Amino acid sequence: MSDRAVQTAEASPSRYQLYCVGLPLAVYREVAAHLRQVTGVDAGLLPQTSHQFDYHQSQVGSLWIQYTATANAAAQQRVAQILEYYSDRYGAWNAVNPRSQTTETKTERP
């Protein structure tokens, strides 16, 4: 994950949404479970909202991550490391802007 992505995550509101194109349901569940192990972090999955079926599209719309009052800089750093691990293996994470439902790429692959 790029430094920009880490800075954006740290400067963002306490809850944000990410998705990874084509990431299977099982891997989304693994990521959410991994993130929930970090003190001060909660995570979950949001369903796919597309009205058209696409075999190559994930069953998950996005992953949400929320920092609680007990989260500290170390928790944010650990979340960034976890997201980077999965990004290296499955592709870039993209941020979902919940207000407009637009997306922008937040991580880059070399």
The Cα–Cα gap between 23 and 86 comes to 10
90 exposure class (CB count in 10 Å sphere: 0-12, 13-18, 19+):
middle
Q: Enter the pTM of the model.
A: 0.75
Which domains can be identified in the chain, with CATH numbers? 3-104 (3.30.70)
What interhelical angle do 3-11 and 73-90 show, nearest 10? 140
Q: pLDDT tens digits for 56-87?
A: 667 889 999 999 999 999 999 999 999 999 99
49 exposure class (CB count in 10 Å sphere: 0-12, 13-18, 19+):
exposed
Confidence category of residue 7, pLDDT binned at 50, 70, 90 = very low
